Structure formats: structure tokens, C-alpha cells
Amino acid sequence: MMLEPVPGEPAAVAVCDGTRVLVLADYHAGLEVALRYDGVELRSRARERREAVLTLLERTGADRVVFLGDLANAIGNPSTEERTELATLLGAVAGRVPVTVVKGNHDGDIEDVADEVDAHHPVAVTSTDGVRMGDVGFVHGHTWPAVEVLEADVVAMGHEHPMVRLEDEVGGARAERAWLRGKLVPDPFEDHHGASLDIDGELVVCPGFNDLLGGTWTNTGQGFLSPYLPDGFRDAQAYLLDGTRLGNYEQV
């Protein structure tokens, strides 16, 4: 496959014209700052998150990193703490490989942060309708993807932080991060773009990288956030981070 999850991790590797790309969704740097405003006191995990990315980069041998939107957490101008985390992260990663940030709904000021990064490799920020690299399209998911992205063989998105709620035989329950993979359905995208499109690929909804995030509980009837889900894919299967296939996401 052109996009394969890294076993046990909320990350994937895409092969784009021979280039290995580490794909991460919903990093949400500085999330702890926002949680403090809600009365939840947590120490910053910025260093742990950054080191996890660098470890994945080394483990996968990737040639590029693509952040699938919401690299930042603040909707507008990030706080000093969040901005420092973003700059340090981007500097560390771009010191090793080129970085692409697909702009998400939380990335309002990300271009300014990226412009300040002084590293060996560039940091590029795309528009919100995504970018295509070879046969793989990348989009955050809060807005409609560009036609070029939709006509890729695989489209990877974030935004949803998909999770499944699992219950045991004695009534205990837990929520776990999950992957969703399904066939792209052309109709809603053609209606949006007002044209016939060459859509025959797969849609992959990636789990949130930040383990402090909540998410969309896909098997409890909770609605999706993206404007094109669930109509934009069919027969979507849910998978846990360890690769366990759970079956149709609605029937888990």
C-alpha cells in the first residue's frame, strides 16, 4: 500500500514517487495551555511529543514529514509557550528532513512560525484544501479537498481524531484511537466542485497524534466534524493502533 500505519503508533508512512513520508495528524502543540484555562493542570509534554516524532523519523527512515493539520492548538495567535514548542519542534525536524504542514483549522498563525524557523531543510505550509505528492493526497479535513488531492490513489486526512469505544464482558469501557479506511465516494465531492471528477481512491482518516485529545467516537453514533463525512466514503473499516481490524466502524 502507498500509506501504511506504523505498528503501535498514531503515525503512517506514505510512499510518494519513491519518497518515504512520515505522516502525523493533529499534533496540537501547546494543548496543555488550553487545558489550564479549563481548570486542568498538566505539565507540558512538549519535549516528549518532539522526541516521539524524532524517534519515529529515525525508526521509519522517512525522507520528509507531513503534518496533516492542527500542528498548533490555538485557533488564532498561539501563546508564547505554544509558539516556543512549535518553533522548537519544526527546527528539530527540519534540521533532518523537509517538512510540510497542511494547514488546519487550528493553524491560523502557523505561516509566521514556519517563516521564523532557521533549519537546514525548508518548512512549507499548504493551503487548507491540501496538497498532492505523487499518488497520495494530504488534507486536514475541515474544508473540502482540492480536485487534485481527491483524484489521488490514497487521500489521508486528520481533523476527526477517530476513536472507538470498547466494552468488556463485565461492563467496563475504554476509548482507543483508531484508523478508518474506506473507499472514496465521488458524489459529494462532485456536487461541491460542480464537475465530474476522476475519483477512485481510498480515504484514510488518521488518529490524532496527541494522546491528550478527545475525539470522534465513531462506533457510538457520534457525528463527524468534516463536511464530507460520512457521505464521502463507504465500507470504512476501523483499525486499532496495533493493527487489529475491528470491522465496519459503525458496527464495532
**CATH number assigned to the domain comprising residue 215:** 3.60.21
- Angle formed by the axes of helices 46-60 and 80-94, to 10°? 20
For the chain, percent of residues with pLDDT exceeding 70: 94
pLDDT at 117: 87
- The pLDDT of residue 154 is above 90: yes
- The pLDDT of residue 172 is above 90: no
Q: What does the mean pLDDT of the chain come to?
A: 91
The pLDDT tens digits of the residues spanning 96-129 come to 999 999 999 988 889 988 988 888 999 999 999 9
Domain count, the chain: 1
pLDDT at 147: 98
pLDDT at 171: 66
C-alpha count within 13 angstroms, C-beta hemisphere, residue 170: 1
Which residue range forms the structural domain that includes residue 135?
3-248
pLDDT at 34: 67
* Listed residue (29, 32, 22) closest to 53, CA to CA: 22
pLDDT at 185: 98
The pLDDT tens digits of the residues spanning 50-97 come to 999 999 999 999 999 999 999 988 777 777 888 899 999 999 999 999
Q: Is beta strand 233-240 parallel, antiparallel or unpaired with respect to 245-248?
A: antiparallel
Would you say 102 and 174 are in contact if contact means Cβ atoms under 8 Å apart?
A: no
Residue 45 CA: distances (Å) to CA of 162, 191, 220, 239: 22, 42, 30, 26
